[in-house]
Amino acid sequence: MAALVLALTLTGCSGGVERREVVVTGSTTLLPITEVSGEMYAEHNEGVSILVSGMGSSAGIESVSTGSSDIGTSSRELKDAEFELGLEDTPVAYDAIAVIVHPDNPVSELSTMEVRAIFSGVITNWQEVGGPDLPIGLVNRDEASGTREAFSKIIMDDAQFDRGAVVLPGTGQVRSVIADIKGAVGYISLGFVTDDVKAVSIDGVEASEESVVAGTYPVQRVLHFFTKGEVSDVAADYIEYVLSPDVQDTIVREAGFIPITAKDGSGE
Amino acid sequence: MSEPLKTEKAASSSGLKMMSRATYFREAALKNIFLLCAVLAVAAVGLIFVFTMARGWEVVKDPGLAAFLGGTEWSSSLGRFGILPLINGTIAVTLGALLLGAPLAIGTAVFLSEIASPRMRSIVRPAVEMLAGVPSVVFGFFGLVMIRPVVAELTGGMGFGTLTASVILAVMIVPTIATLTEDALGSVPPGIREASYAMGATTWQTIYKVLLPAAKIGIIDATILGMGRAIGETMAVVMVAGNAPQFFKGLGAPIATITSQIVIDMSYATGTHKTALFGLAIILFLISMGLVALVRALSRLNTKKA
Amino acid sequence: MTPLSGAARPEALEGAAKFTVRDLDFYYGDFHALTGMNIDVRENSVTAFIGPSGCGKSTFLRCLNRMNDLIPGTRIDGTITLDGEDIYGPGVDPVDLRRRVGMIFQQPNPFPMSIYDNVAFGPRLHGIKKKEELDQIVEQALMRANLWKEVKDIMERGGLTLSGGQQQRLCIARVLAVQPDVLLMDEPCSAIDPTSVQKVEDLMAELKSSVTIIIVTHNMQQAARVSDETAFFLQERQGEPAELIEFGRTAEIFTSPHDRRTEDYITGRFG
Amino acid sequence: MGKRWANRIALGVLWLCGITTVLVLGAVILYVFVRGIGQITPEFILTRPYGVNAEGGIGPTIVATIYVTGLAMLITTPIAVLAAVYLAEYAVQGRLVNAIRFAADTLASVPSIVMGLFGFAFFVEAMGLGFSVLSGALALSFLMLPIVMRATEEAIRAVPRFIRWGSYGLGASKWQTVSRIVLPSALPRILTGLILAMGRAVGETAVVIFTMGQAINMPFTPLDSGRSMTVHLYTLAMEGINMDAAYGTALLLMVMILFFNLSARWLTARNRKVKE
């Protein structure tokens, strides 16, 4: 019943190959890639529309598995339960998560353990990590965020986030609040780090594209496209387009992600 | 002595027409169509209740009524859906809004009804009305970019939290309370005012000792409805409250309300989590219905007394 | 021939009875407003209802075209016949009744539309659509209401732009346009200026050759001036139903009333 | 002496209240105006957002907003007006009327987020309309119903009784009286109510976000999804990615709301003049 209802909710439920519509649902992290590449793809291919919505990775995985969407985008790996859905994985980019602080904050290096202690509320003053006597202002993402999920998995391990952290549902907000407030700390995708904030090194490794591709930067993840079963021609063509240099070297880079093709490139 | 006279008249008019069946049916049908439309309003409320209920009642099974209503932790990753921190947040934010907003609104209403010159009134009243029309996202946006940094300075925190949310909500409930209070003051018979002035009372004494007591129930109604608005307000709160489902820790500390938690969670909730969100909606629905019932009971009391 | 009960025993008069009211009692919910009304209203005459405020004159008047039907919870006992037919009989269409028994109210109540549309409203309601026909009806009605000269060049102006007295005559024209047999006038002159009162009174004298007129008035001089017959209503005690005390030729009521209470009222002992 | 001073101070405070209210509105409008006016170009209004930072215009969100509001209006108006006609002209005080009024009051005070969740559960999922303009419009119509109903009922009640009597006295039937005299007389006030309800719908976020969806899309059929201006503003502000566009969107929203408000005021003023 629920599945039927869900299937009715979106247009992409008929499964025919003639469709000129690709429904892409999922992680907000991937929106910069999917929205822009979708627009460009539609521009090049008359009559095709790529319908993109960002509802979180979980929703993306759920909707591609119920057939509501052609492509589910996710900024996290599949959970155990989701492996049974029989989804096909196409990695499209790297995303590294930077821990950011106010530019004037003298602290510029933290260990994974320190970051964990800060975000779980054990360390509450910068003094405790070698900074000034300044209370730490925690900025967290909402639980729908794939970034939070990744950060939680990579950094937090079993520790719980401090419940008193400010929860903001958008990367830009996190960045602008931290740019504004001296004692604040938060995390955003490396691609969104600007000069307004400072990304600290983690475990001695600078948060940079090189360290990500090299695999040394600890807080990183892979962004995925998930599909299920037979994919319509348009959708398959669109995925191919996303993996092409046209997208990887322009859109993905402009969005601050690291192209999935960068690794092979650096190997050559 | 007169007697009823023969009806020799018939030439000029052909007697009374029976109501034609067509007319009768048309009028009756129309009446029933109107009734149907009116009943739709009832049906709408019923439908809302039934559907939120249908989606949310299972909170009594999982996480269980006690864990839902009595739980002190709201965390979807841990599968804990206790609403006490959210209720606590809603109360904190609403109280703050009432403390700031109600005096301002009632003062504005008194100003409009008793003091302002027609010219002043023609400026203030439209302002109040337009304030009511400003979309809540715009208020939220304004709070985010203007009020939050100020509060951050004041409290030394990040500016997301109870105080910022209260300030924004206070502004948002001003029109509701002010308009209804002005109505209440307007329905105080003018004779009472004149009598008070005639006895040598100052304007303020007349307002304080005569008008406000006379309009008391109306003002309470207004405040209750303003409170309802504050409890139900969503977008503006999400944008400035900080959305941390924790118990009140100070004016500058982030907090989450019932409504803000729904918005934050709705985009990704599944299973029990989603059920719990609909459970929150049921609670909001019951609160607003309870407040309406309270206001109606109060006004009935008022008419009885009068 | 039913013998009359109650106080109202009109003298035998010439002419056919337009309205015949027998043993009428009227209730607003639990409140018994009128009791034991018996009256014959003669065709092509002017009948005046007088009495102190709140004595049920207007309520009674509104029984005659079933306007009281519009107030929920009202109830009526007894019979009222118009040309011998029971107007409260089963299946009688109050809408058609009201077309035949027109009504003028205390407050002039032109509709918020042009003068022409005000007068044409009734005929249009009853299915007349042709422009020439409507023009003719409107002109005639306005002429009969002595308003034609004043408004013939401003027919498209709003009815509400006229003076109070003109508005009242417009309302009369509006009623005349549906060619009623009877005209009920509920204190038609109490809200207009004295010059206009004169015009409306003259109008009544002209109209009565073709229309039966019943007028409720507070003004005894007016009743004496315009009416052929007069009925005196009185509610003797608060909370009790009002009664029809006396009904007869106007000249007689005003010069030699049979009832003490009528005399008291006319000589000014009641409000 | 003390009495005079108390009076002066108290009146001063009341003045302050009145002025504060105006200033708050002024501050909101001015701030949004100053920061947003630079954004408003034909391109901003007409084109669609593109790119990582949602640059470009907000065209589709304007279309979606107007579309969903207009559709909601079409759904609400007949029902609300006829319901008000029933309450004002036909209803006899009693339990049913009491229930209807209680329901209307409750409907008016149901938080919009509840309306949003309900709309999602009922229109989007159970009725299978999906995230669409139609779902959004239906959910919005629930929100507007009590507003329009109340405005219409008050408008109808404000039509003087004696004007009705005039019509009945001419042998008009109830429906003829209502349709030819009462409703036309009440029309300006009904329109005012409708306009204010539309303003409310345009500014609504929590309802449409869960019923019309959030994807930026130019809707054509009522079954297409779309993102309203309010949702766009919310997203921009919360994502913090393109604050300039956020200011521009906020300004356009305010302009639309002000337009609705001012036209309602104008209508009321004009109506008053005609009556005098």
What is the average pLDDT value for chain C, to the nearest integer?
85
**Whole-prediction pTM value?**
0.80
CB proximity under 8 Å: A 29-68 to D:
32, 35-36, 39, 51-55
Q: Which of A4, A8, A23, A175 to mutate to test the interface with D (most CBs of D within 10 A)?
A: A8
Bridge-based pairing state of the strands C243-249 and D55-56? unpaired
Please report whether residue C185 resides in a domain.
Answer: yes
Q: Does residue B7 or residue B263 have the better pLDDT?
A: B263
Q: Give the pLDDT confidence score for residue A7 in this predicted structure.
A: 39
The minimal CB distance from C98 to the residues D93, D170, D180 is found for: D170
Question: Cβ contact (<8 Å) for A9 and D125?
Answer: yes
Q: Average the pLDDT over A43-59 and give the result.
A: 84
Q: Give the pLDDT confidence score for residue B142 in this predicted structure.
A: 92
What band does A9 get if pLDDT is binned at 50, 70 and 90?
A: very low
Q: Which residue of D has its CA nearest to B135?
A: D203
Domain housing C196: 17-266
- Counting as low any pLDDT under 70, the low residues of chain D are 1, 51-54, 272-276
Please report whether residue C129 resides in a domain.
Answer: yes
Lookup: tokens for D231? 């949702």
Q: Cβ distance A221 to A150 under 8 Å? A: yes
What band does C230 get if pLDDT is binned at 50, 70 and 90?
A: very high
Q: Cβ distance A191 to A62 under 8 Å? A: no
Question: E strands of B71-126, at which residues?
Answer: 74-75, 80-81
Query: Pick from C55, C82, C33, C9: which is nearest to C249 by CA?
Result: C9
Q: Give the pLDDT confidence score for residue A100 in this predicted structure.
A: 94
Q: Cβ distance B6 to C18 under 8 Å? A: no
Q: Average the pLDDT over A64-74 and give the result.
A: 89
Within 8 A of C72 by CB-CB distance, chain D residues are: 92-93
The minimal CB distance from C105 to the residues D165, D176, D274 is found for: D165
Q: Give the pLDDT confidence score for residue D213 in this predicted structure.
A: 84
Q: Please check whether residue A89 touches D, CB under 8 A.
A: no
Q: Give the pLDDT confidence score for residue B16 in this predicted structure.
A: 65
Q: Which of C107, C128, C170 to mutate to test the interface with D (most CBs of D within 10 A)?
A: C107
Q: Average the pLDDT over A179-188 and give the result.
A: 90
User: In the B/D pair of chains, how many CB contacts fall below 8 A?
Assistant: 265
Q: Check whether residue A203 and residue A101 sit in a common domain.
A: yes
Q: Cβ distance B267 to D206 under 8 Å? A: no
| Residue A34 burial (CB count, 10 A) | 31
pLDDT per residue as tens digits for the range D167-205: 888 888 888 889 888 998 899 889 988 988 998 899 999
> What CATH number is attached to the domain comprising C61?
3.40.50.300
Q: Give the pLDDT confidence score for residue C136 in this predicted structure.
A: 92
Non-local CB neighbours of C264 within 8 Å, separated by 6+ positions: C270
Percentage of chain B lying above the pLDDT 70 cut:
92
Q: Check whether residue A56 and residue A164 sit in a common domain.
A: no
Q: Which residue of D has its CA nearest to B289?
A: D106
Non-local CB neighbours of B66 within 8 Å, separated by 6+ positions: none
Q: Give the pLDDT confidence score for residue A264 in this predicted structure.
A: 61
| Complex prediction ipTM | 0.75
Cis omega before residue B63 (within 30°)?
A: yes
Is the model's pLDDT at B76 over the cut of 90? no
> What CATH number is attached to the domain comprising A113?
3.40.190.10
Q: Give the pLDDT confidence score for residue B1 in this predicted structure.
A: 38
Non-local CB neighbours of D106 within 8 Å, separated by 6+ positions: B45, B288, B289, B292
Q: Give the pLDDT confidence score for residue D64 in this predicted structure.
A: 92
Q: Give the pLDDT confidence score for residue B11 in this predicted structure.
A: 35
Q: Please check whether residue C257 touches D, CB under 8 A.
A: no
Please report whether residue C171 resides in a domain.
Answer: yes
Q: Average the pLDDT over B166-195 and give the result.
A: 90
Question: Cβ contact (<8 Å) for B7 and C12?
Answer: no
Question: Cβ contact (<8 Å) for A55 and D238?
Answer: no
Q: Give the pLDDT confidence score for residue B109 in this predicted structure.
A: 95
Is the model's pLDDT at C203 over the cut of 70? yes
Q: Check whether residue A34 and residue A11 sit in a common domain.
A: yes
Q: Average the pLDDT over C78-107 and give the result.
A: 86
Q: Average the pLDDT over C42-53 and give the result.
A: 89
Q: Give the pLDDT confidence score for residue D51 in this predicted structure.
A: 62
pLDDT per residue as tens digits for the range A225-257: 999 988 888 999 999 999 998 888 888 877 768
Count of structural domains within chain A: 2
Q: Which residue of B has its CA nearest to C182?
A: B13
- Tell me the shortest Cα–Cα distance from B1 to chain D, in angstroms: 33
Domain housing A41: 5-94+222-264
Is the model's pLDDT at B294 over the cut of 70? yes
A-contacting chains (≥3 CB pairs under 8 Å): B, D
Q: Please check whether residue D151 touches B, CB under 8 A.
A: no
Within 8 A of C4 by CB-CB distance, chain B residues are: 1-2
Amino acid found at D208? V
If you count them, how many residues does chain A have? 268
Percentage of chain C lying above the pLDDT 70 cut:
93
pLDDT per residue as tens digits for the range B91-114: 999 999 999 999 999 999 999 998
Within 8 A of D170 by CB-CB distance, chain C residues are: 98-99, 102, 121-122, 125, 174-175, 178
- Tell me the shortest Cα–Cα distance from B231 to chain D, in angstroms: 8
Please report whether residue C118 resides in a domain.
Answer: yes
Q: Give the pLDDT confidence score for residue A250 in this predicted structure.
A: 84
B-contacting chains (≥3 CB pairs under 8 Å): A, C, D
Please report whether residue C11 resides in a domain.
Answer: no
Q: Which residue of D has its CA nearest to A179?
A: D240
User: In the A/D pair of chains, how many CB contacts fall below 8 A?
Assistant: 55
Q: Check whether residue A59 and residue A152 sit in a common domain.
A: no
What band does B250 get if pLDDT is binned at 50, 70 and 90?
A: confident
- Tell me the shortest Cα–Cα distance from C141 to chain D, in angstroms: 13
Q: Average the pLDDT over C206-212 and give the result.
A: 89
pLDDT per residue as tens digits for the range C1-36: 333 444 444 444 556 788 899 999 999 888 888 998
Is the model's pLDDT at B175 over the cut of 90? yes
What is the average pLDDT value for chain A, to the nearest integer?
83
Question: Cβ contact (<8 Å) for C112 and D166?
Answer: no
Q: Give the pLDDT confidence score for residue B224 in this predicted structure.
A: 94
Q: Give the pLDDT confidence score for residue D214 in this predicted structure.
A: 81
